[in-house]
């Protein structure tokens, strides 16, 4: 693999010298295609619309390893050699989940029907006997709900006030996500423990950090160690700091998705007494009562919105799946410190990576694909 990247650097440098550090898009595209032709193992398909070379150079977004290499080389150019003047970087909202659902505004009659169905939803008790009727009511209000969330950007507290069964029946998050992204709801559960976790643990054996060493352990602890490894491989970066960013070390980054609390502490106490490690975490995250190596209980909390969602399945994988779906359903911004981690989750759900393809995420995907 190292030899391949050395070849990439040499080939990129050759093109750079030839085109005075600013090769055309056609030149970069030709180089990207040549690389995967010479080295088929470096081809990465990340969707039906991709051909496998886009991580080297994507002609639509003008991003990729080649473009990144060129930008690094241009940093050493004298001002007189630059084609463009430097501009001040502008902040972006690339961490916001790309819920690209275009819905028409409901008619007056449809809005009246939605109000009636919402009243039905609130009257029904959250029981397994009523789940079929609640799902029907949620389906009848789906278009109006998605239009409201997408266009009005309500808070999570406002969403759950209107649709309280998202909290007491977390399976409705699966239902909503499946309607938003047909056929993708179960992909994370299928891929994470079966394929991704073993490979991340295999990579962990090469790391010196004792907190991420692989061993023969129970499945939930394996999931926890893999999540630790993921936050080490995709750490918080200083670039792209935006709203929600606070200084965060690699070691503490995992607290922005999972906080471990001693058993015996109530969920209400966990909201009132936010742990030191996540004092500035405004985004929804998972709290584990106990330890992932034991029979722990998981809940999802959103401190700012005072929302608590107990999860029925005592599995960390299940909890991560529900947390990600909550971000999508409520159209929330990812934690700025873990944007790359959530981008990796997008890949597992076979969704477009929001904010463009991040080089570290693409590199990790390639490394995992290369592990047998």
Which pLDDT tens digit goes with each residue over 19-33? 456 788 888 888 889
Q: Which pLDDT band, with edges at 50, 70 and 90, does 279 fall under? A: very low
% of the chain residues with pLDDT over 90: 27
Q: Among candidates 67, 61, 37, which has minimal Cα distance to 49?
A: 61
Partners of 310 in beta bridges: 299
Which of the residue ranges 16-20, 89-93, 237-241, 289-293 would you say has the lowest mean pLDDT? 89-93
Asked if residues 55 and 28 have their Cβ atoms less than 8 Å apart, the reply is: no
Please give the Cα distance from 333 to 315 (Å, whole number): 24
Record the pTM.
0.70
Helix (H) or strand (E) holding 302: strand 297-302
Terminus-to-terminus CA distance in the chain, angstroms? Answer: 14
Whether pLDDT at 251 is above 90: no
What is the Cα 38 distance to its own chain's centre? 32
| String of DSSP letters for 133-181 | HHHHHHHHTHHHHHHHHHHH---HHHHHHHSTHHHH-THHHHHHHHHHS
Span 141-157, pLDDT tens digits: 998 899 889 888 888 88
Q: Do the beta carbons of residue 36 and residue 43 sit within 8 Å?
A: yes
- The rounded distance, in Å, linking the Cα atoms of 361 and 347 is 9
- Report how far residue 353's alpha carbon sits from residue 337's, in angstroms, rounded to the nearest whole number: 16
- pLDDT for residue 116: 84
Contact 322, 173 (CB under 8 A): yes
pLDDT tier for residue 246 given thresholds of 50, 70 and 90: low
């Amino acid at each position: 693999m190292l030899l391949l990247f050395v070849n990439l650097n040499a080939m990129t440098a050759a093109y750079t010298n030839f085109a005075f550090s600013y090769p055309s898009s056609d030149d970069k595209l030709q180089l990207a295609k040549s690389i995967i032709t010479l080295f088929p193992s470096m081809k990465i398909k990340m969707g039906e619309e991709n051909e496998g070379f886009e991580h080297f150079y994507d002609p639509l977004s003008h991003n990729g390893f080649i473009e990144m290499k060129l930008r690094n080389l241009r940093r050493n150019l004298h001002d007189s050699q630059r084609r463009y003047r430097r501009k001040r970087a502008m902040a972006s909202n690339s961490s916001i989940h790309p819920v690209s659902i275009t819905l028409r505004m409901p008619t007056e009659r449809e809005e009246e029907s939605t109000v009636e169905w919402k009243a039905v939803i609130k009257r029904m008790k959250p029981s397994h006997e009523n789940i079929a009727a609640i799902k029907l009511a949620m389906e009848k209000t789906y278009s109006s709900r998605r239009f409201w969330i997408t266009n009005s950007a309500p808070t999570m507290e406002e969403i759950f006030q209107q649709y309280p069964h998202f909290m007491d029946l977390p399976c409705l998050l699966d239902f909503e996500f499946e309607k938003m992204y047909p056929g993708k709801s179960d992909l994370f559960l299928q891929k994470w423990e079966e394929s991704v976790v073993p490979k991340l643990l295999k990579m962990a054996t090469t790391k010196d950090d004792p907190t991420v060493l692989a061993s023969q352990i129970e499945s939930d602890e394996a999931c926890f160690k893999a999540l630790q490894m993921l936050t080490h491989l995709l750490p918080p970066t200083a670039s792209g700091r935006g709203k929600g960013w606070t200084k965060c070390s690699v070691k503490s980054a995992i607290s922005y998705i999972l906080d471990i609390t001693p058993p015996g502490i109530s969920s209400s106490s966990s909201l009132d007494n936010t742990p030191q490690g996540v004092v500035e975490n405004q985004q929804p995250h998972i709290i584990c009562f106990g330890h992932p190596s034991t029979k722990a209980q998981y809940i999802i909390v959103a401190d700012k919105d005072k929302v608590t969602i107990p999860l029925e399945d005592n599995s960390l994988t299940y909890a991560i799946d529900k947390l990600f779906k909550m971000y999508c359903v409520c159209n929330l911004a990812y934690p700025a410190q873990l944007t790359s981690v959530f981008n990796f989750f997008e890949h597992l759900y076979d969704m477009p990576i929001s904010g463009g393809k991040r080089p570290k995420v693409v590199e990790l995907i390639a490394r995992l694909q290369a592990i047998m």
